[in-house]
Amino acid sequence: MKSIITIPLVCCFLCITPFSLSAQTAEEPTTPSLEHISSAKRSVISAEEYILMPGDTVLVTITGATNYSYITTITLEGKITINIPMTSTMSLPLQAVERTFTTQYEIVEAVPIYNLNLTAAKDSLRNVFLKYFRGIDADITLLAMRTFTVLVAGEVKRPGITLAQPINRVSTVIENVGGITAIGSRSRIELRRGGTFYKRVDLEKFKRSGNTDVNPYVQDGDVIYVPRMEKSVIIIGAVLGKREYEITPPELMTAKTTPVSAVPAYNPFEEQTGEGMYELLDGETVSDIITKTIVAPWADLTSVYIERKGEKIDINLAEVLAHEQSEKNIVMQDGDVLYVPAIHAVVYVEGQVVNPGTFKFQPNLQAKDYIGFAGGPLDEANTSWAFVQRGKKRIWVSKSNPLIEEGDKIVVPRQIFKFWQDYLQIGAVVASLLISYLTLTQ
């Protein structure tokens, strides 16, 4: 063993060679597709949280009285090889200009490190290497993560087997298969491990609180099951963003439970909508449900109401959001429809358009968008002279296509040429009639 310790340091520095139990070179780990590892690249690995398992590739570094390093992969048995530099050979090229040293390593044993985090694995390896060297320290660095398969079933868009990595949480794996469907539960997801129920996953709670206990990391062979909602409510009106729920046109979600008069007209120019079905858990109130969406800035909070089996229940949402203990913050029931109306604000479109009239104001839209709402200009419209009347100010549409504000009036005038052309046509008809009359009276 003394000969091992007195090997020249230069020989140790000149080689970093991968090893495994069965060969002197380690196999490269399977690399998952970019779709599945994109989240991994953005994450920082925690030495306290990352658990080593078969398939991980690591760099073992020995420093101190002896310095060398090598790359190895954790074996299928969960072991890591202990590699010791033994001898070095020197080869001379024909010109004898350069000398190349190659260090030979010997695998002296393999020790289990599976199910240990990186910190614990480092301490374990140091104790092993101290049997062969004195005055050294050992470190272990993760070079490549293992890739494994997880089965995702139930109400997801692409159920089946998908690739995952140890730093992927349940939410990431679900995103990789397209996300949860419109009728899938986000609060009662089951994580099954080893063939039995392991943990209930609550992505709604995770979103609100950031509690990672309800959104754990996945492991090889896990099964994720997304059940259907047991109870649900519908939100209609001035709400945005469904917090990762599938966006569904309002007419599909409300046809059976909501009168037509309560359903706002579908507008293709709206940037996004949060209207649709939301999961209802036992005991959830109005404030609990409203946190699952984003209330629009133009919502009329004082006029919110619930439709429940033909009954209308007025809800002052401004009061509810300010005081959760308010009597207006009632417990919601399965099948309730929560309607969030918009503040009464309109824009007027007049002149030579297909359907002139008033239109609901929507932020961040321009004059030409509202002209489109009105069916577009007629043939005789003079779009070059269209303008927005804002109080006493007139803004030309053709120059700037301005953003529209509440109460604006958009005017699309008629072409002057068409106006005179109509008079000429009328004059020609009158002249024809006059000539006919004079011919008959002669």
From 117, 144, 171, the end of a domain falls on 144
pLDDT at 423 over 70: no
Supply the CATH number for residue 282's domain.
3.10.560.10
Task: For residues 208 and 306, state if they share a domain.
Answer: no
Edge-to-edge strand ranges of the sheet holding 189-193: 160-164, 148-154, 223-226, 189-193, 196-201
Task: For residues 395 and 273, state if they share a domain.
Answer: no
Q: Looking at the whole model, is its pTM more than 0.75?
A: no
pLDDT at 246 over 90: no
Task: Taking residues 182-191, report their average pLDDT.
Answer: 94
d(CA 79, CA 109): 10
pLDDT at 231 over 80: yes
From 99, 128, 144, the end of a domain falls on 144
Q: Is residue 433 part of a domain?
A: no
Q: Is residue 431 part of a domain?
A: no
pLDDT at 417 over 80: no
pLDDT at 437 over 80: no
Q: Is residue 423 part of a domain?
A: no
Which range of 30-39, 189-198, 346-355, 413-422 scores highest in mean pLDDT? It is 189-198
How many alpha carbons lie under 13 Å from residue 52 in its C-beta half-sphere? 32
- Domain range for 389 is 346-417
Question: What's the confidence (pLDDT) of residue 155?
Answer: 96
Task: For residues 28 and 122, state if they share a domain.
Answer: yes
d(CA 168, CA 320): 37
d(CA 182, CA 278): 8
pLDDT at 419 over 70: no
**Both tokens assigned to 397:** 């549409």
109-132 per-position pLDDT tens digit: 999 998 899 999 999 999 999 999
Question: What's the confidence (pLDDT) of residue 88?
Answer: 59
Q: Is residue 428 part of a domain?
A: no
Task: For residues 10 and 113, state if they share a domain.
Answer: yes
Q: Phi and psi dihedrals of 212, rounded to 5? A: -75, -15
DSSP annotation of 362: -
Q: Is residue 45 part of a domain?
A: yes
Question: What's the confidence (pLDDT) of residue 259?
Answer: 34
pLDDT at 431 over 80: no
Reduce the DSSP state of residue 165 to 3 states and report it.
Answer: coil
pLDDT at 388 over 80: yes
Task: For residues 203 and 70, state if they share a domain.
Answer: no
Task: For residues 63 and 163, state if they share a domain.
Answer: no
Task: For residues 163 and 123, state if they share a domain.
Answer: no
pLDDT at 225 over 50: yes
Question: What's the confidence (pLDDT) of residue 243?
Answer: 47
Task: For residues 179 and 242, state if they share a domain.
Answer: no
Number of H helices, E strands in the chain: 12, 22
Question: What's the confidence (pLDDT) of residue 95?
Answer: 56
Task: Taking residues 130-158, report their average pLDDT.
Answer: 93
Task: For residues 166 and 267, state if they share a domain.
Answer: no
Task: For residues 128 and 208, state if they share a domain.
Answer: no
pLDDT at 28 over 70: no
**Both tokens assigned to 106:** 């010997």
Q: Tell me the percentage of the chain whose pLDDT exceeds 70.
A: 76
The C-alpha angle with vertex 288 and arms to 285 and 290, in degrees rounded to 5, equals 110
Task: For residues 238 and 301, state if they share a domain.
Answer: yes
262-313 per-position pLDDT tens digit: 333 333 333 456 788 999 999 999 999 998 888 887 788 988 999 999 899 9
Q: Is residue 310 part of a domain?
A: yes
In total, how many domains does the chain have? 4
Say which range, 208-212, 336-340, 365-369, has the weakest mean pLDDT: 208-212
Residue 301 CA from chain centroid, whole number:
28
d(CA 80, CA 20): 8
Q: Is residue 442 part of a domain?
A: no
* 146 or 427, higher pLDDT: 146
Task: For residues 59 and 176, state if they share a domain.
Answer: no
pLDDT at 244 over 60: no
To the nearest whole number, what is the mean pLDDT of the chain? 80
pLDDT at 26 over 60: no
From 340, 356, 376, the end of a domain falls on 340
pLDDT at 80 over 80: yes
